[in-house]
Chains A and B, each alone.
Chain A
Amino acid sequence: MIKKIVYGLCLVFLAALFLSPQVYLYLIPKLSDFSSVLLNENTLKAITNTLFVSLTVAACCLLIGLPLAWLLTRTNLPYKSFFRSGFCLPYAIPPFVGAIGWIILANPTSGVLNQWLGLHLNIYSYAGLIWVETSFLFTFVLLTALTVLDQMDSSLEEAARLSGANGLRVFIDIALPLLKPAILSGFLLSFLATAASFGVPALIGGPARIYLMTTQIYTYQRMGTANGLQMSIAVSVILGIATLVLLYGTQLFFSSSKNYTVGGKTSRPSLVPLNGWKKPVTVFLSILLFIIFILPLCGVLLSALSAVQGSWTLSGLTLDNFDRVVFETEETARALRQSLFLGLGSALICTAFAFIFNYFIYRTKWFGRTFASVIASMPFSTPGTVLALAFILSFSRGFFGIGPSLYNTLFLILLAYIVKYMSLSIKTVGDGYQQIHPSLEEAARISGADWWTIMKTIYLPLLKTALIASMFLVFMPVISELTMTILLTGPGLETIGTLIFSLQEYSDMSGGGASVLSIIVVMFILILNFSLKFLSKGRYGL
């Protein structure tokens, strides 16, 4: 009985927070709004820009991610686990930090690389935007491909080698076809992530006057006029619906045709010797890793330590910026406090909900559970900008008119985070449930335990690692979230993400304040990541 009530409450929670705000948003615009979007030069340009940039980024991600995945799993490349960790790490770093780094390195007036090496790089360009997005989003392709390659029964490839195929041929004839679903989803994920990104196009596209749909929505929304709001809603709906169609449409289309289960017992893969290529490939990968990951962070660090921004020298580095930003700016303390609160709050609530909710998914056959789990995961792929707008509209006059307005409160930001990142918890804890044999619960039940006791004494201890991992995995992106927060924030509601953004964009151009906070965030996230990896003995974390 109590089980049924709890299940009902879960469904109500999902319907209220995960479904209705988005549905509400999608029902607002009239057809005429769409035609005015498509007739408007700016919005039309934003749409074509989004398509062009996202497609190019997704293609570049495949180009980098796939060969890397092959080198890291199938060859005798040296320092493999180091490279693997290094190339996966950008996944955990907020991309806007990379954007800040590249602006320092390659802005046309005072870029470090331009000054020191006499180059003429201009990050404020299509190429710059595409490069910075790619340097983070290739991890989507890499991670999906690595997962499949790690699980693939290696005898499939060994059989091909014994048939006379060399290493590359084996990859093309055997691994690549079996990777097809992973390639497709990696491509789609990086495409959608580019289209949904805000920080990078705002920081880099803004000065270059290259607007994507997300930055265009933000601009309209900030105008504060009725017409601006109308336009931002219409563009959001187009972006949101297009995402849904792409994501679920391709799944329907491809799930029927070619999906193989290629997992098998993991035997020892025999590695392809790189022979004479070993040295050049190692050198090349080191350089690539340096450029993608280390170099922009070095840029940020240099700027954080420089008293004068713009004329870069290694002499006279100082900690003054840290002193000023961390100890003498009251916004910083507030932002840190609020980000921590939001991070802990959403990590706890997401994990607790996933713990209960997944029980119904994996341990009952109750009506509506599959649909409910789709609803719970959907907001994760909804562009943050769209989700935030839906929350503003649904909550600004009470929840659809009921209760007090949550607009301009920390609570609304918390709700938005929970909805957006719930999917991470559900997936992590769900995998945990799948590894627990149902007989463990049955044994407890026979011993006379009721449901709540079973949850407490059987599942809670057995799922401990998964629950802890789930908290880390929600906490890490939340601590530096920008895309949604920038729309939901108000006076006094700074978070680390919005503070870095506003320091970079408006208030602290000459002081390196954004760089200081970026360094702190990156260190914090890296520490969290490695503690998670250590605590879970390598099962979670990058």
Chain B
Amino acid sequence: MSKVVFEKVGKKYLSTWAVKDIDLTIENGEFVSFLGPSGCGKTTTLRMIAGLEENSHGKIYFDSDVVSDPLIKSFMLPEKRNVGMVFQSYAVWPHMNVFDNIAYPLKLKKLKKEQIKADVEKMMSIVELSGLELRKSSELSGGQQQRVALARGLVMKPRILLLDEPLSNLDAKLREKMRKDIRKIQQDLKLTMVYVTHDQKEAFQMSDKVVVMNQGRIEQIGAPADIQKSPISEFVADFIRSGE
């Protein structure tokens, strides 16, 4: 686990800024949510942490190490960052069964077979998938695929786990359960998690810290209660109110 620091980070596409002037610190073991309307730059910010997107301005640190600084052309590749991610589309590999999906990061680390088996089984029981090891991924429900993706992100013991609207394809009841499960796993394993959503209820219910974004900039950062009590701007107040 480690802390992530953004220093004046920006991402420019040709002439438009996807995000601009992001200053942000994600502490060790924190559950942070990015909240905001569609197109405000949540996904872009998340993908810059993973290294799937290169920031064009500013610096990103993991603890005190620079992982991206365009000025000195320093950029750590995503495969070197040890960051887990759960995608909105799950991205469960259709040509591998459940076990192989979850075991993939460990195989790349060249762990011993027994070690891999033990780790995968343990993770599968944490996400409540035990018994489905040999199931083909194409024969899984949406909720089960979501859990496979979660287990695959967790099994590599990432320094940070990123989740991009992971629950938006699930029905309301399952969503409620998954929220609780994810939060519980985060607290049990003392993980750092960044969670992207445009559902304010979700953000306020799960997080230690909420980052409200608007048009590529951060509007307000704070604990859920603080933001709800004293929204810093008209935009934040509106955005919270619209969800109630």
Contacts and interface: CB of A to CB of B under 8 A. Distances in A.
Nearest to B53: A270
Contacts of B91: 153, 155-156, 158-159
Interface in B125-159: 138, 149, 152-153, 156
Given A161-B52, A169-B108, A156 B78 contact: no
A164 B87 contact: no
B156 A159 contact: no
Interface string A511-524: 00000000000000
Contacts of A249: none
A163 B104 contact: yes
Contacts of B87: 155, 158-159
Which of B91, B104, B109 counts the most A-chain CB atoms under 10 A from its CB? B91
B151 to A, nearest CB: 12
A525 B79 CA distance: 45
A8 interface: no
Interface stretch (A128-136, A256-264, A315-323): A256-264
B108 A164 contact: yes
A155 B169 CA distance: 16
A163 B79 CA distance: 6
A174 interface: yes
Nearest to A268: B53
B89 A153 contact: yes
Nearest to B87: A155
A169 B107 CA distance: 12
A164 B94 contact: no
A438 interface: no
Interface string A146-160: 000000010110111
B138 A163 contact: no
Contact of A270 (B78, B80, B138, B149): B78
A257 to B, nearest CB: 11
Nearest to B13: A268
Interface string A212-252: 00000000000000000000000000000000000000000
Given A155-B87, A169-B108, A161 B93 contact: no
B82 interface: yes
B94 A161 contact: no
B77 interface: yes
Nearest to B102: A163
Contact of B109 (A164, A169, A173, A264): A164
A490 interface: no
Which of B82, B108, B138 counts the most A-chain CB atoms under 10 A from its CB? B108
B216 interface: no
B79 A161 contact: yes
B85 interface: yes
B112 interface: no
Which of A163, A164, A177, A270 counts the most B-chain CB atoms under 10 A from its CB? A163
B3 interface: no
Contacts of B104: 160, 163, 165, 173
Contact of B156 (A156, A161, A164, A258): A164
Which of B77, B84, B156 counts the most A-chain CB atoms under 10 A from its CB? B77
B78 A161 contact: yes
A163 B110 CA distance: 12
Interface in B151-184: 152-153, 156
Nearest to B156: A163
A163 B95 contact: no
Contacts of B85: 158-159, 162
B93 A174 contact: yes
A178 interface: yes
18 contacts: A155-B89, A155-B91, A158-B78, A158-B85, A162-B52, A163-B79, A163-B105, A163-B156, A164-B79, A164-B156, A165-B104, A174-B93, A178-B95, A258-B95, A264-B89, A268-B53, A270-B47, A273-B77
Interface of A: 153, 155-156, 158-166, 169, 173-174, 177-178, 258, 260-262, 264-265, 268, 270, 273
Given A164-B108, A165-B108, 13 more contacts: A155-B91, A158-B87, A161-B52, A162-B78, A162-B79, A162-B81, A162-B83, A163-B152, A164-B79, A164-B80, A164-B156, A165-B79, A166-B77
What are the 4 tightest A-B residue pairs by CB atom distance, in nearest-first order?
A: A163-B105, A155-B91, A155-B87, A260-B94
